[in-house]
Amino acid sequence: MGTIVWLGSEVMFFAGLFAIYFTLRSTSPGLWAAETAKLDVPFALTNTITLVLSSVTCQFGVFAAERMQARRTGRLFQVGSWGMVEWFFLTYSMGAVFICLQVFEYAHLISEHVTLSSSAYGSAFYMTTGFHGAHVIGGLIAFLLTIGRAFAVKNFGHKEATTAIVVSYYWHFVDVVWIGLFMVVYVLK
């Protein structure tokens, strides 16, 4: 229950960021048109697909946790035998790729003179995507802690499965927020 309440507060936090973005955008339409032209939408779409697919792998990890299967029962490349650890590690890897690609995109935009202090657009872009990136990093840490916990306990039980489920709530939330950000920042012109 605490996680749901906390995620509710996070919804309000991101709603505030969206409000800032839309307010600044409405006051500077010319600036927004010029700066959004510098975005690499296909690159961002690839990154978005990576994050969305990580939510799918996360859910497979939850399914494994719900059947109390912490680790794989077969060979490494027998995906059907994977447990929560393998699915969460794959999810972690995809999330890490998302962050790396986000950093690459930031470097490209900085080379195009779009910085946090360059304009209202730069401030809005980096605040919204940057806070989201910080939340993704928080999720990555949660995955590592959950995987570590699966190895630390003698018997994987309901407590560990519940932890996996709660981490998945957070990850799915981060994913949904990014879909909204992608639509607003990259698609909506």
Domain ranges of the chain: 2-187
CA distances from 12 to 144, 166, 182 (A): 27, 19, 18
Which of the listed ranges 3-12, 21-30, 87-96 does the model predict with the highest average pLDDT?
87-96
Question: How high is the pLDDT of residue 85?
Answer: 96
Q: What is the average per-residue pLDDT within 51-76?
A: 94
Instruction: Kindly report the average pLDDT of the chain as a whole number.
Output: 94
> What percent of the chain stands above pLDDT 70?
100
The string of pLDDT tens digits covering residues 102-159 is 999 999 999 999 999 999 999 999 999 999 999 999 999 999 999 999 999 989 999 9
Task: Specify the CATH number of the domain 2-187.
Answer: 1.20.120.80
Distance CA 189, CA 186 (A): 7
What's the pLDDT band for 76 if we cut at 50, 70, 90?
Answer: confident
Rounded to two decimals, the pTM is 0.92
Per the model's pLDDT, the better-predicted residue between 61 and 5 turns out to be 61
CA distances from 86 to 92, 105, 125, 146, 169 (A): 10, 29, 34, 12, 18
Question: How high is the pLDDT of residue 2?
Answer: 80
